[in-house]
Amino acid sequence: MSEVSTKAPDPMDIALGAAVRIRRRTIGMSQEALADQCGVSFQQIQKYENGTNRISFSRLVQISRALRCRVTDLMDVFDGADMETAEDLNLLNRMRTPGALELLTGYEKLAPEVRSSILNLVRTLTAQQDTAVSTSQKQPVAA
């Protein structure tokens, strides 16, 4: 009888997958196009990008060729001291948040004054949300 694995993806697999996703989206390539060039399904690319499935070295070479970069470009996140690697992994995990890459891409195109206004808006919204969550946690539950 086989067991269903409930093990979470390894952070290194997640980081490599995130690096693939960022590169693919940076050059404007769809998952389908990358899958076609690598001879796999787009669902397999999704699993690679989410870190659910590990990328073999031979597949990583295929992916890097399709993305027109070097294998080492996708693995740069693993260079450096342990603290830097942990920070890079954290950043790559944050970039997996739906809409994060689009927001960053748009943000880069904005004038500095507009960036400042948006940043102030986000700070205000997150402070309000933190206050609301904190207040709701302090409320006694009615019996």
Going from N- to C-terminal start, the domains of the chain cover 8-96, 99-136
Spelled out in words, what is the top-level CATH class assigned to the domain 8-96?
mainly alpha
Burial class (CB in 10 A: 0-12, 13-18, 19+), 143: exposed
What is the structure's pLDDT at 8?
Answer: 83
123: how many CB neighbours lie within 10 A of its CB? Answer: 10
Alpha helices (runs of H) in the chain, residue ranges in sequence order? 11-26, 31-38, 42-50, 57-66, 71-75, 82-95, 100-109, 112-138
> What tens-digit pLDDT sequence spans the chain (143 residues)?
455 556 888 888 888 998 899 899 889 999 999 999 999 999 999 999 989 999 999 999 999 999 999 999 898 767 654 555 667 667 777 777 788 888 888 888 999 999 999 999 999 998 888 887 777 666 655 55
